[in-house]
Amino acid sequence: MKYSDLLNITEEHGNPVYVYDTEKIISQFNRLTNAFNTVKKLKLNYAAKALSNLAILKLMNKLGSGLDTVSIQEVKLGLLAGFKPESIIYTPNGVSLEEIEEAAALGVRINIDNLSILEQFGGTHPDIPVCIRINPHVMAGGNSNISVGHIDSKFGVSIHQIPHLLRIVELTNMKINGIHMHTGSDILDIDVFLYASEILFETAKNFKELEFIDFGSGFKVPYKDGDIETNIEELGEKLSNRFNEFCEEYGKELTLAFEPGKFLVSEAGYFLAKVNVVKQTTSTVFASVDSGFNHLIRPMLYGANHQIINISNPKGRERYYSVVGYICETDTFANNRRINEISEGDILCFKNAGAYCFTMASNYNSRYRPAEVLWYQGKSLLIRERESFDDLLRNQIDVKNLFETKKQEAPVK
255 and 352 both lie in a single domain: no
Is 328 a known active-site residue?
Answer: yes
User: Is residue 360 in a domain?
Assistant: yes
Domain at 125, CATH number: 3.20.20.10
User: Which of 219-233, 262-276, 327-341 bottoms out in mean pLDDT, i.e. has the lowest?
Assistant: 219-233
pLDDT at 25 over 50: yes
Do 141 and 239 fall into the same domain? yes
- Domain endpoint, select from 207, 238, 262: 262
Catalytic residue among 131, 247, 328, 357: 328
Is 131 within the bounds of a domain? yes
Share of the chain above pLDDT 70, in %: 94
Domain that holds residue 87: 22-262
Same domain, 296 and 234: no
Q: Tell me how far apart the 2 most distant CA atoms of the chain are, in Å.
A: 102
What are the tens digits of pLDDT across the range 354-372? Answer: 999 999 999 999 999 999 9
Q: Are 196 and 213 in contact (CB under 8 A)?
A: no
Which range (176-190, 260-274, 309-323) has the least confidence? 176-190
Give yes or no: residues 329 and 201 share one domain.
no
Q: How far apart, in whole angstroms, are the C-alpha atoms of residue 252 and residue 255?
A: 10
322 within some domain: yes
User: CA 370, CA 198: separation in Å to the nearest integer?
Assistant: 44
Domain boundary among 229, 262, 295: 262
Q: Residue 309: what pLDDT?
A: 97
Tally the C-alpha atoms within 13 A of residue 247's C-alpha that lie toward its C-beta.
19
Residue 401's CB is within 10 A of a number of other CB atoms, namely 6
Shared-domain flag, residues 214 and 338? no
Picking from 262, 277, 306, the residue at the C-terminal end of a domain is 262
Based on the fold, state whether residues 92 and 198 are members of the same structural domain. yes
Question: Could you tell me which residue, 145 or 209, shows the higher pLDDT?
Answer: 209
Whole-model pTM? 0.92
Residue 13 lies in a domain: no
Local confidence band at 144 (pLDDT 50, 70, 90 cut-offs): very low
Q: What is the pLDDT of residue 145?
A: 46
- H-run or E-run covering 371: strand 371-376
211 and 312 share one domain: no
Decide if pLDDT at 260 tops 80.
Answer: yes
Same domain? For 155 and 254 the reply is yes
Q: Lowest mean pLDDT of 222-226, 264-268, 270-274, 359-363, name the range.
A: 222-226
Mean pLDDT of the chain: 93
Q: Is residue 392 part of a domain?
A: no
State how far the Cα of 220 lies from the Cα of 229, in Å rounded to an integer: 5
Is residue 214 domain-shared with residue 124, that is, in the same domain?
yes
Q: What are phi and psi of 10, to 5 degrees?
A: -65, -30
CA distance 219 to 47: 12
pLDDT digits (tens, 9 = 90+) for 63-72: 999 999 999 9
Three-state secondary structure string covering 253-315:
CCEEEECCCHHHHCCCEEEEEEEEEEEECCCCEEEEECCCCCCCCHHHHHCCCCCEEECCCCC
In this structure, the answer to whether residues 45 and 122 fall within a common structural domain is: yes
Q: What's the structural domain count of the chain?
A: 2
pLDDT at 143 over 60: no
Report yes or no on 397 lying in a domain. Answer: no
Quick one: pLDDT at residue 146?
43
| Whether 211 and 311 share a structural domain | no
Read off the CATH number of the domain in which 302 is found. Answer: 2.40.37.10
Residues 185 and 275 in one domain: no
